Amino acid sequence: MARQVQVNLDQAVYDRLLELQVAPYSDINAVIDRLLFHSGHKSREVQQLEADEQHFSTDEELKRDRDGVYVSSGISS
């Protein structure tokens, strides 16, 4: 089994994931995987989220690092 992480979901989101958990998608992880990746390709929604993602210049990233933005993520320098 792949490495796992714990997440918190709103009850309504969790309930909807349970509703989508139908054969052959026997667990919530499989449902989420299918929502994110269709036949190995990113879904339109994922592509849109990535396109909407805010991008920072190198200088902005360095300032964000100094400001502690990445401290809890484990990627801080």
Instruction: Decide: pTM greater than 0.85.
Output: no
Assign 11 a pLDDT band (cuts: 50, 70, 90): very high
Structural domains of the chain, count: 1
36 with 42: CB under 8 angstroms? Answer: yes
Predicted local confidence at residue 73, as pLDDT:
56
CB atoms within 10 A of CB 35: 14
Query: Which structural domain range is residue 37 located in?
Result: 11-70
18 with 7: CB under 8 angstroms? Answer: no
From 50, 20, 40, select the one nearest 32 (Cα to Cα). Answer: 20
30 lies in some domain? yes
42 lies in some domain? yes
1 lies in some domain? no
27 lies in some domain? yes
31 with 21: CB under 8 angstroms? Answer: yes
38 lies in some domain? yes
Q: What is the pLDDT of residues 12-46, one digit of tens each?
A: 999 999 998 988 888 999 888 888 887 778 777 77
Q: Both tokens of residue 18? A: 């349970």
